Amino acid sequence: MINDIAQSVSSLVTNILENTNTLVREVRRDSMHVARESEALYRGASEQVAGLRSTVRATPRFAKIVREGIRIVASYRIHRAKAGLLTPEAAAVELEQLHATNAKRLHDLCVDLRGGVLKLGQFLSCRMDLLPDAYVKELSALQDRVPAIDTAQITAVIEEELGRPIDELFAEFDQEALAAASLAQVHRARLPSGEAVAVKVQVPGIEQIIEIDLAAMRVLGNIFRELVPRVDMATISTELARSIREELDYELEAANATAFAENFAKRDDIIVPAIIGDYSSKRVLTMELVDGVRMTDYLDEANQEDTNELFSQLISSYCQEVLEHGLLHADPHPGNFLVAEGPRLVILDFGSVQRYTPEERKAYAELAGALLAGNAEKIAELLQKVGFRTATGDSAEIVEFAEMMLDAFRADAAFDFASLDPKKELEKALELARKNPVVSVPNEFVMLGRVFGAISGLLLHYKPQVNMFALISPALAAALSAT
């Protein structure tokens, strides 16, 4: 295994050096610099791989992930070495082309391998602040359906888990998948009692695949740090690994779904499908089938009033989850929400859930209070209190960033997202991050950041007119009164 990877990496580096020498033949010093860069990359990757000798055996999947990751990083190192030979304009054009090529390469790898690689791609697609536009555009396609696997494999898992033939378990079972994702597939069915249900089934062999993917990500984490130096890669990798492993435990997901249903039992505008326990197991989850349309499909056709109403439901539900319930739905991509008649928000998929202690909820309640009060210095102080650290240790840039966001939390009027210039605001935020990057992020904030990123993207796209103060303040008051 190790020899195969070493040979693959060696071949890759050899090809890189040959291509580079062709491109910069007349500039010996620069081509030698590229050689040293590539050799160092190869040596570092080989050391990382050697440390995983007992974790992954001879698997082409592991080798392919590492090989593609090294190829991407190496291409940027070579571009950096060549850039001095080009005009700034030509270097910028070449860099954009490189972004597009590598983004397509990463997208194709995610679709081809699925599993943990696809989950990583979905996570990255929500992070406009971290990646060039080409990556966001390519990886955003991963939020939609992925190709379904053969239904015979799915029914085999159901029969093994539930102990009976499929035609004895269900009066009807649709052969065509209702939805397909990186770790699971969902089929419509009908129980002998006549109740319509959705059956979520784990992709066969996904547990082993995930462990291989996570091992490969650990290897690549250190290598990719140079591409996104302002990101706390270790924390993000740890939280992503924890989240993915939890998503494989459907008994835990069933318990999560039941807890969410209890938490929102008093809200008529939020629907959580009921779990059918007798038809569920560790790898099969059967739940009530709720009629509804995909949230983004609904919003694409909705009028302004219904758009405002649905976003009010979405935002207020997340405020309650963090500040009141201490149980966060941490996978908010559009496929996990439907819209039922009303409109009413239907929440699906409780495999990725973040729990908050009472102390953490109190800290976030204080942070929300500082936002509503417009106290930028207090916001910066609380961010540092919960574990945020900048490269310099200075909070001035955090204060400046907080001040830039405060208009969205005015108490005197409904905030109109149509008034935002998303590109301009994002550029300002990124400039602050570059001047004084956050180098440490608290573990529990990683998934919350994922949620913020995904919902912010929806807000900026659909531009609802909502009163943020009115949506946040009830949950804030409940949280503060409980502490």
Q: For position 230, what pLDDT does the model report?
A: 56
Query: How far, in Å, CA of 122 to CA of 101, rounded?
Result: 18
Give the residue from 143, 160, 192 where a domain finishes: 143
Which is higher by pLDDT, 342 or 444?
342
| HEC assignment per residue over 287-345 | EECCCCEEHHHHHHHCCHHHHHHHHHHHHHHHHHHHHHHCEEECCCCHHHEEEECCCEE
Query: From residue 351, how far is each of 117, 277, 316 by CA, in Å?
Result: 17, 16, 21
In a domain, 100, yes or no: yes
In a domain, 205, yes or no: no
**How confident is the prediction for the chain on average, in pLDDT?**
78
Q: How many structural domains is the chain composed of?
A: 2
Amino acid occupying residue 383: L
Give the residue from 143, 176, 201 where a domain finishes: 143
Examine the pLDDT at 7 and tell me if it is beyond 80. no
In a domain, 183, yes or no: no
In a domain, 421, yes or no: yes
Q: For position 20, what pLDDT does the model report?
A: 40
pLDDT digits (tens, 9 = 90+) for 55-96: 444 478 888 888 888 888 889 888 888 888 889 899 999 999
Query: How far, in Å, CA of 183 to CA of 256, rounded?
Result: 18
In a domain, 407, yes or no: yes
Nearest to 185 by CA among 172, 169, 174, 193: 174
* Contact present, 275 and 432 (Cβ < 8 Å): no
The confidence band for 415, taking pLDDT boundaries of 50, 70 and 90, is low
Nearest to 308 by CA among 457, 448, 453, 417: 417
Q: How many residues does the chain have?
A: 483
Burial 460-477 (b: 16+ CB within 10 A, else e): bebbbbbbbbebbbebbe
pLDDT digits (tens, 9 = 90+) for 9-64: 445 444 444 444 443 443 344 444 444 544 454 455 444 444 444 444 447 888 88
Residue-number span of the structural domain to which 466 is assigned: 292-483
Q: Scanning the structure block, which residue is given the tokens 């620069």?
A: 30
Phi-psi bin for 208: left (phi > 0), alpha (psi -120 to 50), beta? alpha
Query: How far, in Å, CA of 128 to CA of 118, rounded?
Result: 17
pLDDT digits (tens, 9 = 90+) for 149-195: 899 999 999 999 999 999 999 999 999 999 887 788 999 999 999 99
In a domain, 198, yes or no: no
Catalytic residue flag (residue 407): no
In a domain, 286, yes or no: no
Nearest to 324 by CA among 370, 369, 356: 356
Give the residue from 143, 159, 175 where a domain finishes: 143
Of the residues 213, 232, 331, 349, only one is catalytic, namely: 331
| Other beta carbons less than 10 A from residue 157's beta carbon | 18
The confidence band for 418, taking pLDDT boundaries of 50, 70 and 90, is low
In a domain, 148, yes or no: no
